[in-house]
Structure 1
């Protein structure tokens, strides 16, 4: 009725699922069972939370999680799904107040869980981490996924000791119309501007959803941390008939951002918690040595096949490719130029004549001591007859990832359901270091500076160790892996218990 009261009569014993939805409110799914002889089942008051009111607090905030503090320690990424549309009060407060990145439920990182788009795992095979920046900024597209928190069973993956997050991106399931969003913040970036349009399903069986977004900041809360990220999504859905639906999803997010340094307590005591050692002044502007740039678009084609009333088969073919580059300073037969290197800190000189002078330089914020001194690098390189002893390099990951996955379900009856997930992944990643900027020099030596005997070449078959901008240096290898996973499961109810038995073979 008009106040929301509803009832069903003469329900047969068995398992049921009720889905309650309304525009601008999150959808709620409730599973319940009716026992033999049970005459009344009260589901209580069902509350739907407003998407518009709660979006800032409950959005799928891990999508903006590409603010990694230290690119060399990517395992710090938290368990996926900490801050999502959940009514778990602990997760909501911890995720929103502490920040998803710095909080890991039970000490577990993202490698302990699963993040899946249309049946395809987003974990990287070389390290198990999830690169959230591949779809960062598309909050309205990826909000409100299905979450099997912690040890809860999932029908889409075997899971682990952490959560399984599953998101279907069907163009027809987004609210019809347009949505323009502007946000301002004082964390990783300052501004976020996005626009989404959904056509809805037309009479010819077509539906379209598109979204564009930009997040940017000239400087974040820490000095020298600029941020510039674009994102785009296009979803096309075609309902062929009552049994077959095809979807095409395309996601891309080119980004460029400067990262911040991890610091010791000594450095915090001198400079405060917002200090960042990765930048220095050059020609009156702040220049960072640690800049991360990437673009790895994803293309997915999915077929939803309703074989009959009891059986369904979902199949997805996915391809992701592109490069991620992370710059850093490198040097040859020279001391580490980082201001926070232990030999450049006052504590190294305690009891020595230089201590007071170095301490005062740090306390008085002398930029040639407490920040990167770019001018020193150029002067040093001019003294070695064309050879750069200091230079900028890019650590490059060039990935090509094919995925094929199927999700099969069959209901034997109201109480028993069979599930089968099968996936194949072909992962290839070329990983190497290349010279980005010689900082006034003409070449860099591709040799091990600590090698005393032999040629010192990283590659003994290499004839020319003089490397210029764009040349590979130090390391160059290819990581490849092919994997097949089979995950059968049986879900059934017996009396007052719901049971799921599953296994995984790979």
Structure 2
């Protein structure tokens, strides 16, 4: 009987492996493979499939829920890590990695990822496989009406002599958005990956990605502006210049990535993977500036009928007069030419010059068939130099590098110099001015992971301990803060980040699996949140502390021939968070730098998803989540005057407890059905729902100084403290595709339609304003918050793609 079971097992294992690729019926390299020795079977293999941490909810809901701000589980985006062979990478490289053939794996929440300590928001990992693709060449063209018009992709992979492998990819996008005026994309992403095997178990690979891009963006606005123009997609960032559309908010980026990987087998049980990554380049974001003049932004509250109170302004907005509703570039240029050389208006770039380095070395030791140890060290250096650069003087000749906000100040009008060591500099196009500083983070650490799998039991223990140092270096000496207050290096702020995570699971059968996980961590705050005014001030926040994170999950997975089901109970608490904001304080009538410390949030709820194979050709996808994402502590607010660091409000309590986290739907649901017909035809339809959404709350409004003193009536007090709930969002999507199969190639045409209902009243997201409005009925002075700012989701849109693989 035992011999029969072993024989049956040896027969089923290769069949199970082949079943993972039902579409790859033709495999041209089968005859070239060497016959392998028969492996000793491990009974744990029966349970590996159900123990795999597949993110079924993410698989079904990615790109299928309504087009609204969606912070999964109410967590900050920085709590999700994207890793390429152990090194964290930016989102800007992901499209190129996929084109180059990198395999992507997503681990939700506290799921265990090999060699990664993980975060509460999950991990997305990329790695290049050892095998060769069956169809190594790709050519694709696509058309859409969102962000751009036309895109094209080409990719190729090949092997040549002496163990070399190469893959190259190119992605091009260009054109204007057909719905939102001023939005456009001109982007090219080029990638190259080289890999070489040599010696006994040695492999070296080099990756290079260059993603230059120019993108016109859109800005949020107030409900008054949307109502007056009758356009939910109203974009205040653009205007007419010489009869052509020009956007004032354009992102320009050229940030290449180079990555070197070396792997070697040190022994029969131990291997080493070392990675060195470098990211360097410039990212710029343009915006209008004005000097002793009226703001050129058309939707500023001073330009709207609710503030001006005159009928002429209201009629101009109702008539969509672009001189009122958009940036009047021609008028800005006219005023500059009348100013006698010095610019009244100018277009400037907020530039960031990046230079990030990372090194990671990971050892993997398989002590036996069930226990795997992964341990290693990492080093990183993140350096960002920020400055302003003059892009366009709009017909003027120059500006003088002084602080224009202080020209009429009775106290500080004699301290105008932005750069005391070069006073009164004349700024031309292309020159730096205003501010120039660098933020640097240096960190190193050690990590350890032990992964144990027996027949039914799985355990994973992960630990990471590091040391980070954050500092600022000023290249300008601000006259308001002379000497070391603004120039040179600041004090070094040190942190000890750590992560401790434990996971245990039990497979009741090859189809049923239950898992529990817990994590405690501390992470270093963002460098810009540690300085009151990093543009020109070395002063750090008092008693900086790392953000503490505590999380727990309970997962259940069911796999079967008909149904795959996954459900997760989760709870995440983040404490001692910090934020830094710069704003104009209407109550004190000064510009302020505000530190928000002691921020505490909690997220808890449930996610569930199911994939049901109704028949050979029909598949049903279901997913839903329900949770509560809220603030659980009242943070402290310290506001300092921007001119002398004097206290405007010290350690004020912001009554944020009970407020909901913005941009995070607390109820989601998705239902989708797909049909895969004969002869390559297929279609899919899905409906998504996002509910219990709120605008992002602002802590400043809920202090005694603002809500208590400003909200002198119940109506105004409620206006300061009540958090606005956004309307629920529903979407309906559909797609149709057709594939033509040839001997060794495939041609596919697909059409995707988003938001078929064409609902134009869905708010993508919003946030409360920091500003306070003064109302003077007679001799009294009343205060009310400024209106919240919104962005509306795109209406009905399409994607048409034609691709050829060969």
- TM normalised by structure 2 equals 0.51
Which region of structure 1 is more displaced relative to structure 2, 179-188 or 488-497? 488-497
Give the Cα–Cα distance (whole angstroms) in 1 for the partners of residues 149 and 389 of structure 2: 32
Name the structure 2 match of 1:381. 336
Say whether the 8 Å CA contact 2:87–2:359 is kept in structure 1. yes
Distance 2:101 2:224 in 1: 41
Query: Which aligned pairs between 1:122-201 and structure 2 lie closer than 5 A?
Result: 122=89, 130=90, 132-136=91-95, 139-141=98-100, 144-169=103-128, 173-199=132-158, 201=159
Q: Which position in structure 2 is the counterpart of 1:291?
A: 250
Secondary structure in structure 1 of the residue aligned to 2:64: helix
Among 71, 85, 90, the alignment partner of 1:118 is 85
Secondary structure in 1 matching 2:464? coil
1:235-314 alignment to 2 at 5 Å?
235-271=193-229, 272-314=231-273
When structure 1 is superposed on structure 2, of 132-141 and 385-394 the one drifting more is 132-141
Partner residue in 2 for 1:48: none
1:351-394, CA deviations, whole angstroms, 9 ceiling, x for partnerless residues?
x3x1x221111111101100000011111112221110110101
Matching of residue 108 in structure 1 with residue 109 in structure 2: no
**Distance (Å, rounded) in 1 between the aligned partners of 2:123 and 2:288:** 38
For the residue of structure 2 that corresponds to 1:336, the secondary structure is: coil
Q: What displacement does 1:103 show?
A: 1.4
Secondary structure at 1:380's aligned position in 2?
helix
How far did residue 476 of structure 1 move? 0.4
Tell me, in whole angstroms, the C-alpha distance in 2 between the residues paired with 1:457 and 1:142. 53
Is 1:445 the counterpart of 2:446 in the alignment?
Answer: no
Aligned to 2:326: 371
Pick the structure with greater CA Rg: 2
Q: Say whether the 8 Å CA contact 2:402–2:424 is kept in structure 1.
A: no
Determine the structure 2 residue equivalent to 1:226.
Answer: 184
| Counterpart-to-counterpart distance in 2, 1:111 and 1:476 | 26
**Structure 1 residue 266, shift from structure 2 partner:** 1.6
1:339–1:142 distance in 2 versus 1, CA, 3 Å: farther
Map of 2:168 onto structure 1: 210
What TM-score, normalized by structure 1, do the two folds share? 0.79
Q: Spell out, residue by residue over 1:96-124, the C-alpha distance to the aligned partner (whole angstroms, 9 max, x if none).
A: 3334x7211112232101111222112xx
CA distance in 1, matches of 2:124, 2:332: 47
Moved over 6 A (4+): 17-20, 42-45
Aligned mates of 1:262, 1:237 — CA distance in 2: 45
SS state at 2:120 partner: coil
> Is the alpha carbon distance of 1:331 and 1:134 closer, same or farther for their aligned partners in structure 2, counting shifts above 3 Å?
farther
Q: 2:288 maps to which residue?
A: 329
State which of 40, 61, 82 in structure 2 corresponds to 1:93.
61
Residue in structure 1 matching 2:43, options 34, 54, 75: 34
Q: 1:473–1:203: structure 2 CA closer, same or farther, 3 Å change rule?
A: closer
Q: Secondary structure at the match of 1:433?
A: strand
Aligned to 1:391: 346
Is the deviation greater in 398-407 or in 143-152? Answer: 143-152
Classify 1:144/1:135 alpha carbon distance in 2 versus 1 (closer, same or farther; 3 Å).
closer
Instruction: Return the offset for 1:228.
Output: 0.6
| Matched residue, 2:458 | 498
| Pairing partner for 2:429 from 466, 469, 475 | 469
Structure 1: how far apart are the matches of 2:187 and 2:398?
32
Structure 2: how far apart are the matches of 1:267 and 1:282? 22
Aligned to 1:431: 386
Kindly indicate whether the alpha-carbon contact (under 8 Å) linking 2:386 and 2:437 is maintained by their aligned counterparts in 1: yes
Per-residue CA deviation, residues 435-489 of structure 1 (Å, 9 max, x unaligned), is: 1111111111222223222231122222233211111121100122211121111
Q: Compute the displacement of 1:214 (Å).
A: 0.2
Aligned residue pairs, count: 434
For 2:644, the equivalent position in structure 1 comes to none
Using the TM superposition, give the Cα deviation of residue 169 of structure 1 relative to its aligned residue in structure 2, in angstroms. 3.2
SS of the residue corresponding to residue 190 of structure 2 reads strand
- Alpha-carbon distance in structure 1 between the residues aligned to 2:156 and 2:370: 40
Q: Is 2:317 aligned against 1:362?
A: yes
Name the residue aligned to 2:696.
none
Q: Note if contact 1:23-1:175 (Cα within 8 Å) is conserved in structure 2.
A: no
For 2:82 and 2:49, the matched residues in 1 are separated by 32
Cα distance in 2, alignment partners of residues 380 and 171 from structure 1: 63
User: Take 1:7 and 1:261, find their aligned partners in 2: how far apart are those partners?
Assistant: 64
**Structure 1 residue 134, shift from structure 2 partner:** 4.2
Counterpart for residue 127 of structure 1:
none
Provide the rounded CA distance (Å) in 1 between the counterparts of 2:18 and 2:294.
Answer: 64
The match for 1:28 is none
CA 1:21–1:359: 2 relative to 1, 3 Å: same
Q: Secondary structure at the match of 1:183?
A: strand
Against the structure 1 CA distance between its residues 175 and 486, is the aligned structure 2 distance closer, same or farther, given a 3 Å change threshold?
Answer: farther
More strand by share: 2
Unaligned runs of 5+ in 1: 1-5, 12-16, 26-31, 46-84, 123-129
Q: Give the corresponding residue for 2:417.
A: 457
